[in-house]
Amino acid sequence: MTAYQTILPEQVTTWFRAGHTHQFPAGAGATVKYGNRQIAVFYFHRNRRWYACQNLCPHKLENVLGRGLIGEQDGIPKVACPLHKRTFSLETGENLNGDCPPVAVYPVRVEGEDVYIGFAD
């Protein structure tokens, strides 16, 4: 499996502990490392949902999505690349501008105060 394929919850073989909930800012992103992958993690305080995607923007191949602006487009949670403003669905990874490849998204679960990201290793 490549580092940039979307992982569905039923495909998870490894749950990686990314940190405590208080280590992730509400309404913004933070980046964690899993093996050779950088993963952007987001907490939407408004709907109390967690999301994770690759940190690498496929447009210019920069690891910046964890610093991107988050919001919604037609009810879809999204992140916008801080360099090029390309937007990506945090649910499917789809490029909402339609002009570059999708990003990988990963399932997130919270147990107590610990945040876990799912991978299919």
Instruction: Say what the pLDDT of residue 15 is.
Output: 96
CA distance 45 to 39: 19
pLDDT, greater one: 6 or 56: 56
Mean pLDDT rounded to a whole number for the chain: 92
Q: What is the pTM of this model?
A: 0.91
Ranges of beta strands (E only) in the chain are 14-20, 29-34, 37-44, 49-54, 56-57, 62-63, 69-73, 76-80, 87-89, 105-106, 108-111, 114-119
Instruction: Say what the pLDDT of residue 4 is.
Output: 58
The radius of gyration of the chain's CA atoms, rounded to the nearest angstrom, is: 13
Domains and CATH numbers, the chain: 19-109 (2.102.10.10)
Instruction: Give the tens place of pLDDT for each residue, 11-66.
Output: 889 999 999 999 999 889 999 999 999 999 999 988 899 999 999 999 889 999 99
In terms of residues, how long is the chain?
Answer: 121
Under 8 Å between Cβ of 83 and 94: no
CA distance 15 to 69: 26
